[in-house]
Structure 1
Amino acid sequence: MKTWSKVADVQPLATRIITNSIKKDRVSHAYLLQGERGTGKGAIALLIAKGLFCRNKSGVEPCNECNNCKRIDSRNHPDVHWIEPDGQSIKIEQVRNLQKEFTYSGLESNQKVYVIKDADTLTVNAANRILKFLEEPSKETTAIMLTENSQSIIPTIRSRCQVIDLKPLHAASFQNRLIEQGMVENQAVLISALTNNFDEAFRWSEDAWFAEARKLMVQLIEMFITKPEDVYLFIHSRWVVHFKERQEQEQGLDLLLLAFKDILYYHIGNEDMMVFFTSNDPLVEKAAMSFSQEHLVNSLNFVLQAKRKLKQNVQPTLVIEQLALQIQR
């Protein structure tokens, strides 16, 4: 999505709010873009930056061809800075380095843009330091904060940003688009439940890591049913080894969530909603016989709690160990 017209197809309200600001030359000094993965946060951040630096705009649309646009796309523009988590979080040292940049004039103009990805992972100290910029904004400096978990953003930051809510994308239309482009249907059904990013979806469909992740989830469900005493060993010998980075750990929990949802759907006769398993998979029937509806609902809540703990930077191995014990009970 390299143009506002493309973004408007999936985020019409957000597009209208931001492009109206651009037309009136009233771009906010700080935006907080909040929405699920694949809803267009990164694309919108790029378009805001291009709107401030592009030399050949057509109305609000950047040309995407000039030197500035190309450098912003490649993240090589000297006056557009990206901050991403260093490991599990954005640390105070990263914010200190950013604050040093605040004191300098732009290298090619007085305009500067800062994009803070996964802003919910700011440590408390880092979040408090970033407030200095938000409380004393420079007229020609724009901060863009991206998050999937807006509730983890401290209120003092939220209150100083223009908050833009991005609506979830329609999974069915995205799924059909994947199938039209050649993805196998059952793969498209599963992946469309995890992402709305077209390039990411096809990357996962061809990724051996993702295939192994799904296989591990099937094995874990089977182990909960047949060998619960070996789950702890499985977690340490297989899960921890495969899901190493934070994004991988979150993806593992997303897959586990879908698997338990499917078992619950099968339990209540709603097989049409299943995405992880097929309705004729013998493991689903076996799992439905082993887990009561109450146990499944509790397990879903435990997985959601585990996802929140990862966002709060609780030690990942501890999170999955605790989750496994909760599901076993």
Structure 2
Amino acid sequence: MRVLVSAFDAGSSGISSYTQELAKLLSKDVKVSLLAFQDLNLLGVDVIAIRLRGRSRALPLMTFLRNAERVREVAKEFDLIHETLSPWGSVGQRFVTTRWGYVSYLELAWIRLTGLSSVEKWGAFPVTLQHYLMDRRSRRRAKFVIDVSRETGHFVPPPVEPRPPKSYQCSTLRVLFVSRDLGMPRKNLRVVMEALELVKVPVELHLVGRGREPGPRPTFQLIRHETLSREDVISLMREVDLLVLPSTYEELGFVGLEAYSVGLPVITSDIPSFRAVFKVSPKFHPRDPRALANIISSLTCEELEKMGRESREYVIRSNEVARRKILELYRLVLHS
């Protein structure tokens, strides 16, 4: 069985990480290739790199139409396409696709308008309309639609490769927050800043991402790491004690799974995608800094270590569930 995973795009953030991890998981059982729009080295996976012509972030539908025939030529060599980024698998005759998110497109456009940085929000409605058209194309043509953001009958846990577990030497509690843009409203850094002012233990906050944190100057120690590569973020996870994902909306939050993979505990906001993916994480209402502060204040070093161990074990179990479900799905699709 030859499977093409389509497609890796470094600009798609968490989806790009998911795509890499999916390809690595599948490579243990099938002959898998990964279509990539940038250069990428992935151990055990054949990467087919294509440079998109006439690419425009503001016009993703036009970008697809300009490059669809080139991708179709690649896709025809495979038995099945696993689409992670629509509509780049829809050029094939036999493919499964991935559903991201859990809100309507109108709601998503409003989230982008109110929850993104000022430059990006102007494209909220026109860009979301194009994504609606591209997603609709893929879902109408696909043999199966996998959910990764909500618990449905089609939910498949997103995989992530387990890494060597971190160790704990607690004194000051080191909290990590990661976002490509620290000022993005829906990422909700503000609630973390407010919560850490309320905690009863010594704490320092490590920030990864561009931009500035919201609100007044904090009384706790703040350490800025600016923008880091994915591997550098994972290395930093070994040096801190806790990751907080406080988003008001998130399709997946893959950085949390990367934390799980090294045994770093994660606290998340109580939103549908996090309830589906981060089963062993404590949760709080995303507008309630006191609830977050109470969770943080209650955690001892021993409890953090136990949470981290359970998180990593959860990843191992989830990977096996994902592997079994996907391989069975492939068999059904190929014999339908």
- Please tell me whether Structure 1 or Structure 2 has the larger radius of gyration of its CA atoms: 1
The normalised TM-score by structure 2 is 0.30
Name the structure with the higher helix share: 1
The normalised TM-score by structure 1 is 0.31
